[in-house]
Homo-oligomer: A and B are copies of this chain.
Amino acid sequence: MTRPRGSTPKAIRTRQAIEDAARKLFADNGFERTTVRDIGARAGIDPAMVIRYFGSKEALFTLVAMPDLRLPDLGAVAPDSVGETLVRHFLLQWEGEQGGGGMPVLLRSAASNDKAGARLRDIFRAQVLPAVAAAGPPETAPARAGLVASQLLGLALTRYVLKLPPVVALPLDLIVREVGATIQRYATGR
């Protein structure tokens, strides 16, 4: 009992290696096309360990594809920079470190996996909708949030998942300016 399973130094390193491998593979290939055997191979250990550490493939996916958007309070932002603030926030998160906070991972799988799709809908309802609601009249909040989501998810889709060349080539400041103006209009209701 002094050494609980999975808390020894070596185990912690292995656990981390599995998580990293899973994040990368899920993000690149989606849930269905990523195999436990692939994850094991990339992490340098036996596939059986993946299951022993995380219980099941789906449990591992759930753990790894759990984006926390950490949206700013749009009510406290200068009203006419809401759009740019939001776009910059997402780009920083997505462009950044491993897996962009789990969003590309989730987005790729959400298109063909019901569980992943449901989770994305939850995240939208719990995080995006309230944030956008604070930027305009309450009665139009769902429509405004829906339009915002269509543009932001479309950006993530074309840039990180489909990798359409002209979208990948877009400089960050141009995205912030152009897409920011769109989000501004959608979020505030003009």
Give chain A's interface residues, CB within 8 Å of chain B: 29-33, 107-113, 117, 120-121, 124-125, 129, 142-143, 145-147, 149-155, 157-159, 161-167, 169-170, 174, 178-179, 181-182, 185-186
CA distance A174 to B125 in the complex (A): 21
Minimum CB–CB distance for A6 against chain B, Å: 30
A147 closest partner in B (C-beta):
B178
Q: How many copies does the complex hold?
A: 2
- Report whether A166 and B182 are in contact in the complex, using a CB–CB cutoff of 8 Å: no
A143-B166 contact in complex given A30-B111, A150-B151, C-beta closer than 8 Å:
yes
Out of B32, B120, B158, B166, which one reaches A142, CB within 8 Å?
B166
Cα A109 to Cα B109 in complex, Å, equals 10
Q: Which residues of B contact A31 (CB under 8 A)?
A: 112
Assess the B179–A166 pair: CB atoms within 8 A.
Answer: no
17 A-B pairs (CB sep. < 8 Å):
A30-B112, A32-B33, A109-B111, A117-B162, A121-B162, A121-B164, A142-B169, A146-B164, A146-B166, A147-B167, A147-B178, A149-B154, A149-B164, A150-B159, A153-B157, A154-B154, A154-B155
CB distance from A10 to the nearest CB of B (A): 34
| Secondary structure call for the A interface | helix
Q: State A162–B157 Cα separation when bound (angstroms).
A: 12
Q: Which residues of B contact A174 (CB under 8 A)?
A: 143
Select A182's contact among B110, B129, B182, beta carbons within 8 Å: B182
Question: Which 4 A-B residue pairings sit nearest by Cβ, starting from the closest?
Answer: A154-B154, A30-B112, A146-B166, A111-B111
